[in-house]
Amino acid sequence: MTTSPARPASRRGWAWAWVLAAGVMAAAALRAPGAAGDVRAAAAHLDGLRLAWLGVVVTAQGVALASGTAAQRQLLALAARGCGGGPCSAWCLPPPGWPG
């Protein structure tokens, strides 16, 4: 009996991820016209002031998401270089009494 070498689990997972992503995109494409109609109907019931506040809230949410992502990238970059590549502040150091 001959067996073929097993592929690493990470490579097998990519195929399933692509299939899942394609399924989600297909479902979103099928639902997009209905969702757009729902958004138009909801906007028709809002007066100008409420619609303006909704825009402010959506913008603030986008800014919060972007700034959180940027902060996470900076922290990951700092952790990757081990605080040894430049000036290191006190929050980068382990607390007193930390093992190791």
SS3 47: coil
**29: which 2 tokens?**
């494409």
Q: Is the pLDDT of residue 87 over 80?
A: no
Strands (E), 45-85: none
* pTM tops 0.75, yes or no: no
pLDDT band at 82 (very low <50, low <70, confident <90, very high): low
The pLDDT tens digits for 64-73 are: 999 999 999 8
The pLDDT tens digits for 5-63 are: 655 556 667 788 888 888 888 888 888 888 888 878 877 777 777 778 888 999 999 99
**Is 20 buried (19+), middle (13-18) or exposed (0-12) by CB count in 10 A?**
exposed
Q: What integer pLDDT is reported at residue 57 of this predicted model?
A: 92
